[in-house]
């Protein structure tokens, strides 16, 4: 029975890993892909524009 208790955590983790990979593969593409791509593009545009577009004043060393 010791060998069973030693293998059980590995088997549970392997099953969990397979389930996670299946969810990731299933959610790629589909109806939500365009919305997710648009959200990523908007976040990248905000990050590249820097603090000038946010309206906040740049910090100055006084």
| Local confidence pLDDT in tens for the 62 residues of the chain | 787 788 889 999 999 999 999 998 887 777 777 888 888 999 999 998 876 545 555 556 55
pLDDT for the residue numbered 45? 92
Q: Encoding tokens for residue 54? A: 């946010």
pLDDT for the residue numbered 21? 95
* Closest to 45 measured CA to CA, from 54, 56, 33: 54
Grouping H, G, I as helix, E, B as strand and the rest as coil, residue 19 is helix
Beta-carbon contacts of residue 53 (< 8 Å; ≥ 6 apart): 46
In angstroms and rounded to an integer, the radius of gyration of the C-alpha atoms of the chain is 23
**Is the pTM above the cut of 0.75?**
no
pLDDT for the residue numbered 56? 56
Cα–Cα distance for residue pair 10/17, rounded to 1 Å: 10
pLDDT for the residue numbered 52? 59
């Amino acid at each position: 029975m010791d060998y069973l208790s030693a293998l059980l955590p590995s088997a549970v983790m392997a099953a969990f890993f397979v389930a996670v990979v299946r969810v990731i593969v299933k959610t790629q593409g589909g109806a939500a892909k365009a919305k997710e791509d648009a959200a990523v593009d908007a976040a990248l545009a905000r990050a590249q524009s820097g603090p000038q577009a946010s309206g906040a004043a740049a910090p100055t060393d006084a």
